[in-house]
Structure 1
Amino acid sequence: MSNISIEKLDTKTFSRFGSVIQKRNALELRSINQGTTTRYHNISELSLESKNGNSGISIFSGAPRSFPIEIKIMEKHPVASQSFLPIQDYDWLIVVSEEKNELPDLDTLRCFHVNGDTGITYNQNVWHHPLLVKKKQDFWVIDRINDQEDSSINLKEYHFKNNETRFINL
């Protein structure tokens, strides 16, 4: 059984995979709405190619998995980035990897612990595991939506072979 250790998420370590969405990562603060609101400007950039699709906001409701969590699938979105912003303040996990020969490089799998007050954006074309929550949790998800095209345009999946399965344990 091959385990993936859980790392604390930080902006620098995660930067090759995407961005961390926290107020402290704002490039600029702006006073708006007659001084009653602070805008934490440009925390995370999105790439949402819209030639054949639209940018949209959805809600994903994640259900927890039993530990140890079996990691046996990865996915990526070649056409657009994807942002996850937790609605409830519950900690959650993400698993990412680098790419090798257009597939996830399983030797580079990393698991990050994400605080419940923190969101993330996966860069376009980054291999990641589907949503991993420790308890039932909802997320605002900002991504590219196109219900008229084949889903394989912006969703590539890799299903692990039996000997490739990894596990996350607390």
Structure 2
Amino acid sequence: MTRADDRILIQPISAGGFAPYGDFLEAAGAPDKLINQGLCGRYHDRAHLDFADGRAGISLFKAEPRDLPMPLAMMERHPEGSQAFIPMSEHGFLVIVAPDVDGRPGQPLAFETQPGQAINYHRGTWHGVLTPLQAPGIFAVVDRIGTGANLQEHWFDTPYVVVRPE
């Protein structure tokens, strides 16, 4: 039986709620400027890419969709670089983050994005693995390309369970 304090309730994502963990990306409101003869709105410089060394690269990820409720047994972080996830489909996805508490993830939070929204994790942010809730789980990922270790994992003694609010 799952204890109530082991459950992580999914909440809608917002710029303010996600700010401690990274940048929330969406083309909402008025663009910063119009380009291409006024036919394209540019939402300028919305993510802070941060790399200790190496360079920015764009990769494509294809992740299997997950079902809810979903166990959360592990979180990871990338101490050498930020990591942006940009869906290449019309679906939102699940974003799980946690504050750092003495080098380990603290209490996790779960957010659900909507179509047209993306995120950029700050360098060193504890996060869950890429979690689409619908197929296809195809994402453009902008992250650090370089040598050396850039992955730390933390496995929980008792997994959490990610659920939708009732």
Q: How high is the TM-score relative to the length of structure 1? A: 0.86
Q: CA deviation at 1:25?
A: 7.2
Which residue is equivalent to 1:67? 68
Which residue is equivalent to 1:8? 12
Give the letter for the 1:37 counterpart: C
Q: Contact (CA 8 Å) 2:82, 2:123: kept in 1 or not?
A: yes
Choose which of 150, 156, 159 in structure 1 pairs with 2:152. 156
Which residue is equivalent to 2:81? 80
1:166 aligns with 2:165: no
Which residue is equivalent to 2:90? 89
Q: Contact (CA 8 Å) 2:27, 2:116: kept in 1 or not?
A: no
- Percent identical among aligned pairs is 30
Shift in CA distance, 25/166, structure 1 to aligned 2, threshold 3 Å: farther
Q: Contact (CA 8 Å) 1:48, 1:144: kept in 2 or not?
A: yes
Q: CA deviation at 1:160?
A: 1.4
- For 1:166 and 1:145, the matched residues in 2 are separated by 31
- For 1:101 and 1:25, the matched residues in 2 are separated by 38
Q: CA deviation at 1:158?
A: 0.5
Q: CA deviation at 1:29?
A: 1.4
Structure 1 residue ranges without an equivalent (≥5): none
- For 2:66 and 2:42, the matched residues in 1 are separated by 36
Q: Contact (CA 8 Å) 1:94, 1:129: kept in 2 or not?
A: yes
- For 1:39 and 1:169, the matched residues in 2 are separated by 36
Structure 2 residue ranges without an equivalent (≥5): none
Segment drifting more, 89-98 vs 33-42: 33-42
Q: CA deviation at 1:111?
A: 0.4
- For 2:141 and 2:98, the matched residues in 1 are separated by 21
Which residue is equivalent to 1:17? 21
Stretches (4+) displaced over 6 A: none
Which residue is equivalent to 1:134? 133
Provide, for residues 104-143 of structure 1, a one-character-per-residue CA deviation record: whole Å limited to 9, x for no partner. Answer: 11xx210001112100010111000011111221111000
Q: Contact (CA 8 Å) 1:73, 1:159: kept in 2 or not?
A: yes
